[in-house]
Amino acid sequence: FPIDITFKSTNPFGWPQIVLSVYGPDFFGHDVVRGYGAVHVPFVPGRHKRTIAMFVPESTSRLQQLTSWFTGRRPEFTDPKVVAQGEGREVTRVRSQGFVTISFNIM
């Protein structure tokens, strides 16, 4: 999807990121999260291709896994900022869920 954005800054600290939240149906037809990922937007003019590693949060116990499978309510982040920030993510259990490739045309 084309996105047209203009940024102006004197400092690249906290440079904008694109956060992806991918959803899809499971075996029972429930809409569940298929992956989260984030990438910094390049600031050098030209065509840039980035591959984003996607991940999914996992339940911490077998009982929670079984319950979420039966109810169709899988673990997911309530705030997309969690994906973009590294703070507090070292204690979150996640599973790799593939890759998404994104292309940027920066002017």
For residue range 21-56, list pLDDT tens digits in order.
888 887 778 788 888 888 988 888 899 999 999 998
- Domain membership of residue 40 (yes or no) is yes
Which pLDDT band, with edges at 50, 70 and 90, does 75 fall under? confident
- Specify the pTM: 0.75
Kindly list the distances between the CA atom of residue 24 and the CA atoms of 51, 53, 95, in Å, as whole numbers in the listed order: 20, 17, 17
Which pLDDT band, with edges at 50, 70 and 90, does 7 fall under? low
DSSP string, 36-96: EEEEEPP-SSEEEEEEEEEEEE--SSHHHHHHHHHH------S-THHHH--TTGGG--EEE
The continuous run of DSSP H or E covering 68 comes out as: helix 62-71
- Domain membership of residue 2 (yes or no) is no
- Domain membership of residue 11 (yes or no) is no
What is the rounded average pLDDT of the residues 101-105? 90
Q: Whole domain around residue 70: which residue ranges?
A: 17-106
> Distance between CA 84 and CA 18 in Å, rounded?
8
